[in-house]
Each structure stands twice: as structure tokens, then as C-alpha cells.
């Protein structure tokens, strides 16, 4: 029974038979996505309750600015805006000069190299290693006799 747009669909009895377990649809959300969605729903519900509380207590609209500021402050915890990193900017970068793909791949390599170098430099292992090298160099310079002549 195929229906065409604009045709009347006949009412049928609902399907009441049980569905086999292997025929159930797969879950499209991961557990953390589902928990985030639930957390968002709880936050939305708390905002609605706060709005109803303000409206009940402020029939004349005298505390409207305080209400707006409080809601804006609570909404900042839900919606945060962050800038794109260099790789995301590179993905959407376009221009009309030739060899865009090659230039983007070269820039991707440079950006990845910069990210790796930054992660190495900011790691505590690198900082500790350079500090040990500086201290060892200072100790060797302290033990070295400046009056000793080297054979030439």
C-alpha cells in the first residue's frame, strides 16, 4: 500500500506484536552523548523553573534586569564559543590561486609540525631535561681549570 502525496491514508490498527531483539534499531548515541543530552535537558528544565519563579515573584516587572542577568549567567555554562584551531581553519580555506591542494597539504604539514613542536616544548619532560643539561654544563664549567693550558 503505497501512498501518493495528497492522498488520504487509511487508519490501521497499531502493530502490537513483539519485535525480535535482532530487529531493534541500533542506538545512534554513545552513552556519553546520551548523558550530555540528559544533562542539557536538566539544565533547560532548571532554567525554565527559574524563569517561572521570577515571573511568579515579579508580577510588576520591577526585577526584569536582575532576571535577565541571572539567566545570561546560567546560559554561559551551557553555550560556550571557542575559536577554530589552525587545522580547522585550513580545512575551510579556499582561494582562486592554482595548486590549492598542494599548498594546503604543505600548510597542513607545517601546522602539524608546529603543534608537535609546541607540545614537546611545553612538556615537563623537556623542561626537566633542559634544566639538567644547564646544571650539568654549569658543574663542568665550575670543575674546569681556566689556567690549564691545552697542548697545541
User: pLDDT tens-digit profile of 22-58?
Assistant: 665 565 656 666 666 666 777 777 777 777 776 776 6
Over residues 101-135, the pLDDT tens digits come to 999 999 999 999 999 999 999 999 999 999 999 99
pTM: 0.43
Pairwise CA distance, residues 107 & 86, whole Å: 10
Cα–Cα distance measured from residue 87 to residue 108, given in angstroms and rounded to the nearest whole number: 7
**Cell numbers found for residue 101:** 591542494
Report d(CA 71, CA 48) in Å as an integer.
10
- Percentage of residues of the chain with pLDDT beyond 90: 26
More confident residue, 110 or 88: 110
Euclidean distance between CA atoms 138 and 151, whole angstroms = 24
Amino acid at each position: 500500500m503505497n501512498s501518493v502525496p495528497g492522498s488520504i491514508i487509511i487508519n490501521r490498527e497499531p502493530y502490537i506484536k513483539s519485535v525480535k531483539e535482532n530487529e531493534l534499531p541500533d542506538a545512534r548515541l554513545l552513552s556519553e552523548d546520551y548523558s550530555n543530552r540528559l544533562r542539557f535537558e536538566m539544565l533547560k528544565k532548571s532554567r525554565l523553573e527559574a524563569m517561572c519563579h521570577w515571573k511568579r515573584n515579579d508580577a510588576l516587572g520591577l526585577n526584569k534586569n536582575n532576571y535577565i542577568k541571572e539567566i545570561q549567567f546560567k546560559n554561559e555554562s551551557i553555550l560556550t564559543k571557542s575559536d577554530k584551531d589552525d587545522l580547522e581553519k585550513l580545512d575551510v580555506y579556499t582561494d582562486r590561486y592554482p595548486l590549492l591542494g598542494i599548498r594546503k597539504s604543505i600548510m597542513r604539514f607545517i601546522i602539524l609540525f608546529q603543534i608537535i613542536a609546541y607540545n614537546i616544548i611545553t612538556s615537563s619532560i623537556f623542561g626537566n631535561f633542559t634544566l639538567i643539561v644547564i646544571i650539568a654544563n654549569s658543574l663542568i664549567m665550575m670543575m674546569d681549570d681556566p689556567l690549564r693550558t691545552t697542548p697545541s
